[in-house]
Amino acid sequence: MKKLLIVCVLIVVCAALCACEPAEYVLTESNFFRIMTNMTFNPEGYLGKDITFDSFTYRLTDTDGNEYMCAVRKCSSGYGCKCGKDTIIGFILDYDGDIPEPKNQSEDTVEKTWIHTKGQLVNAEKVYINIFAYNEAGEIDHSAAPETVFFYTFKVQEMELVQEYANLAYYVTK
């Protein structure tokens, strides 16, 4: 009887521990900002987990002219940004297929190239990128002091173009 009780307790404890850490994360309109912020401070908790999210494509060019294709959302200042302006959050994409080209990149509009992406964060290394901000005309302002932002690299397993994106929030804050 005592052995049966111990086995039952061990099963309950194992089940509780497994339930605490999800095997996958689905980033939605209501949790995108929160999970991405948590990932900034605790990337190890997301390593090797399936992550699915909707975002728009964004070509980030550093101050040396190197380009990074990213999947992002726009958010309030503070996430990786020290300039006091709004910024973007997301990932650098590592994908063997073709990534759709960004549309209306410098404009505050939902009219973007939206993608539905599934993959994994495969390492916790931050990629630091020195960038120039866009000016009011939507052009890169080379006269401004550069800023350093960072992204994690996301290994894409599946990607598809989102045709109907009216219900997706361009700007995420919660």
Q: What residue spans define the domains of the chain? A: 23-172
pLDDT grade for 170, boundaries at 50, 70 and 90: confident
**Alpha carbons 157 and 118: distance in angstroms, whole number:** 6
Name residue 115's beta-bridge partners: 55, 161
The pTM of the full predicted model, rounded to 2 decimals, is 0.80
Q: For residues 97-102, give the mean pLDDT.
A: 96
Q: How far apart are CA 68 and CA 25, in angstroms?
A: 24
Mean pLDDT value of segment 34-38:
91
38-50 tens-digit pLDDT: 998 999 999 999 9
CB proximity list for 63: less than 8 A, separation 6 or greater: 130, 131, 132, 146
